[in-house]
Amino acid sequence: MKAEDIFIMTMAMIDEMNDNGTLDANTTLEYRSKAPHILTMLQNEIIGIENRYRAFEEYIFPVPIEDLNQIVQIDDIKANTLLTNGLAAHLLIHENTTLAGFFQQRYEELKGTFLKPTPAEIQKREDVYDSKLNY
């Protein structure tokens, strides 16, 4: 998913979309300039949490989002939920603290839902020392 798609969804969430479903370039210019940096930060946080539950060979090494035409490195579900809510919270922090708090709380809830570790498989271990505990 492109960062631009996340940006457009976020603009709809914070009521910056025109009645015809388009964005006004004048009113969203500041948001557009901040979005790549905020998305980079949020993406790195999500990847960092996910990497804790991966083997080193499976780590994802994040690439900064420098342009909204870039593709983000997390799956579409996390992009549609975590990144949109996180971006909305950060963009509104100085304009509407109540709404920013709502989006931040939603982000934290979804982060707890989507970034849980998967249970490990039960593995049988061989006793190579033949240690039968006799006291």
Tens of pLDDT, residues 9-68: 999 999 898 888 888 888 899 999 999 999 999 999 999 998 888 888 989 999 999 999
- What per-residue string of b and e applies to 92-118 under the rule 16 or more CB within 10 Å gives b? beeeeeebbeebbebbeebbeebbeee
Q: What is the pLDDT of residue 119?
A: 65
Q: How far is CA 3 from CA 51, 80, 120, 134, in A?
A: 21, 10, 33, 62
pTM of the model: 0.82
Measured over the CA atoms of residue 129, residue 130, residue 132 and residue 134, the dihedral's sign is negative
Q: Give residue for tokens 């979804």.
A: 110
pLDDT tens digits, residue range 61-89?
A: 999 999 999 999 999 999 999 999 999 99
Q: What is the pLDDT of residue 118?
A: 66
pLDDT tens digits, residue range 75-134?
A: 999 999 999 999 999 999 999 999 999 999 999 999 988 887 666 677 777 777 776 766
